[in-house]
A and B are shown apart, each in its own frame.
Chain A
Amino acid sequence: MAHFVAHGSLRLDAVVPAEMNAEAIGFLGRGVPGVPYGSAVADAYPEGSFARRLLDIPAVAGALRSLVGPHPRVDHHAVHVRDPREGSAQPLHGDAIIDVRTDAFDVQLMYYPQDVTLDMGGTLSVPGSHLRRTNETDTGRYQNLLGQSRLVCPAGTVVFLHHGLWHGGRRNDSDAVRYMFKIRFNPAVRQRRLWDTSDLEDPRVAEELMTTFPWYEPATGRLEIYNRVLLWRSLTGDESFDLEHWVTRVSNRPQEEVA
């Protein structure tokens, strides 16, 4: 979870079996009918359906439960198809509108049924951008950021993104059609200690939360850490948690008067 809070994403390589990947490529090109916003998973995806089987894969189910808890709501889903040599890329964007929640987040599941090579133009994402308050494609002016992630992955990879993460479909310069299936989930419970928290005191948790990225301006990078502390406090319920004393220092307002 500390990795997700720092990076804004969680990647599970090749967790979907080959036969399901082959099945997906067969139907994703035809599109998937939409479901009403806020549907329960069982209503959106009946038992035996492809999406339901995808969500029942233990690694996928475990990650989803850790991030948004049991019985999340299906916000919406979409099939993204990038045609060969199509010549254009999506502008860098965050999905939906500015989402300023500090104590909750949605996740976007992105499933890649085929091997994605660099020239196929996999999804571009910007690690550590998820806490930035920007509106949809207003970030479209940014073409490249130092340390950006240009997805190259094996077939059957699933990536979970925090709803705020900057991302976009890269230009497909290959001869292959590229498919991606996305589902956005809303949590239905408070996102507090939903994952295995037995290692909360491990020093590697703090180290992970202190991760900085090459595209951060040094000054703003400190504010990123500050905001991560607030998110971590919300996720764990530990209001004393801090990194480098930063939040504690600037919120220190002693009330005791000199005798």
Chain B
Amino acid sequence: MTVRQQVLVLYLGTSALDSPVVGWSVYDGTGRTSPTTGDSDEPPYKSGVDALRDGWRLFQAAQLIPPYPGSEYDVSFLKHEFFFEKLAEGSVGPEGVAAG
């Protein structure tokens, strides 16, 4: 069996894993799907915990970093980023075609 990683990135409303999803991205190592920018208006899960319940394994959460002095009111990237993985059968050949 060839196993590849599927990665889900959820951006949550607060630093709590059970807070609502406000943004999302998917990267599929099996090559079976090609998610991209602006392809859905509906989030795959309502919260980070919902993703856990569906079998996604959390492997990274954003650190809580205090604002830099003088930049307390600046707005920039989304702060509450959580990375999940699933392992799935499949692989991608050098031409990008699903081979497994």
Residues of A at under 8 Å CB distance from B? 87-92, 121, 124, 131-134, 138-146, 148, 150, 168, 170-171, 214-220, 223-224, 226-227
Chain B at the A interface: mostly helix, strand, loop or mixed? loop
Q: Are B38 and A217 in contact (CB under 8 A)?
A: no
Interchain CA distance A150-B35 in the complex, whole Å: 16
12 more A-B residue pairs beyond the given contacts A134-B76, A143-B24, A217-B14, with a C-beta to C-beta distance below 8 A: A124-B38, A132-B76, A133-B74, A138-B77, A142-B78, A143-B37, A144-B25, A150-B38, A170-B39, A216-B22, A217-B78, A223-B75
Can you sample 14 A-B contacts with CB below 8 Å?
A132-B76, A140-B37, A143-B26, A143-B38, A144-B24, A144-B39, A146-B41, A168-B38, A214-B22, A215-B23, A217-B12, A217-B78, A218-B13, A227-B75
Residues of B at under 8 Å CB distance from A? 9, 11-14, 21-26, 34-41, 43, 73-80
Residues of B within 8 A of A132 (CB): 75-77
Q: Are A226 and B37 in contact (CB under 8 A)?
A: no
Q: Are A145 and B23 in contact (CB under 8 A)?
A: yes
Given contacts A146-B23, A217-B22, A227-B75, contact A92 B13 (CB under 8 A): no
Chain A at the B interface: mostly helix, strand, loop or mixed? loop
Q: Name the contact of B75 in the complex, choosing from A87, A131, A148, A214 (C-beta under 8 A).
A: A131
Q: Are A168 and B37 in contact (CB under 8 A)?
A: yes
CB-CB nearest 7 A-B residue pairs = A124-B38, A143-B25, A89-B37, A145-B23, A170-B38, A89-B36, A215-B22
Interchain CA distance A143-B74 in the complex, whole Å: 23
Q: Name the contact of B40 in the complex, choosing from A138, A144, A219, A223 (C-beta under 8 A).
A: A144
Interchain CA distance A214-B11 in the complex, whole Å: 12
Interchain CA distance A138-B76 in the complex, whole Å: 11
Given contacts A144-B40, A146-B23, contact A134 B35 (CB under 8 A): no
Q: How far is the CB of B42 from chain A (nearest CB, A)?
A: 9
Interchain CA distance A219-B78 in the complex, whole Å: 11
Interchain CA distance A145-B22 in the complex, whole Å: 6
Given contacts A131-B75, A217-B78, A224-B75, contact A146 B22 (CB under 8 A): yes
Q: Which of A90, A141, A144, A223 gathers the greatest number of chain B CB atoms within 10 Å?
A: A144
Q: Are A148 and B41 in contact (CB under 8 A)?
A: yes
Interchain CA distance A142-B80 in the complex, whole Å: 12
Residues of B within 8 A of A124 (CB): 37-38
Q: How far is the CB of B37 from chain A (nearest CB, A)?
A: 4
